[in-house]
Amino acid sequence: MRSRYSAFCLGDIDYLQVTLHPNRRRKDDKVELENTVQRTNWLGLKIIAHQPGLEEATVEFVAFFNGQPFEQLHEFSRFKKVAGQWLYTDGDVLPAIKLSRNDSCFCNSKKKFKKCHGKDL
């Protein structure tokens, strides 16, 4: 999951395609991924829960992106291990999480949220 997030940040479309479960692959994946990568400036990742397993795993995360105001993707994702490689199978988008003003900001600035990306909220 972290490696897919990194690949989104770096625009590594090939890796994103390879780590997509074969049942999920579509002809227009590459174009869609390219659009996503171009439109999106990733700011940070927060892992909320991780349920590891031998062959299946789930991760609940929030990815923060774009600028001021920022946007977030809160998702519960499912992965399957196929031939030693974790593949993304599907996920459910969940409601946005509420961020606490005194927590450190998701963007790793080391500033409090209220003094960083939360300052206009």
- Judged by the rule CB under 5 A, the positions of this chain that interact with Zn ion are 105, 107, 109, 116-117
Listed residue (60, 62, 49) closest to 96, CA to CA: 62
Q: Cβ of residue 53: shortest distance to Zn ion, in angstroms?
A: 33
Q: Indicate the residue among 21 and 74 with the shorter CB distance to Zn ion.
A: 74
Q: Indicate the residue among 25 and 119 with the shorter CB distance to Zn ion.
A: 119
Q: Which single residue is written with the structure tokens 């080391």? A: 110
CB 77 within 8 A of CB 52: no
Give the Cα separation of 2 and 6 in Å (integer).
6
Q: Cβ of residue 9: shortest distance to Zn ion, in angstroms?
A: 15
Q: Cβ of residue 119: shortest distance to Zn ion, in angstroms?
A: 9
Q: Indicate the residue among 63 and 116 with the shorter CB distance to Zn ion.
A: 116
Q: Cβ of residue 97: shortest distance to Zn ion, in angstroms?
A: 15
Q: Indicate the residue among 4 and 117 with the shorter CB distance to Zn ion.
A: 117
φ/ψ of 24, rounded to 5, equals -100, -10
Residue 43: Cβ-neighbour burial (10 angstroms; 0-12, 13-18, 19+): buried
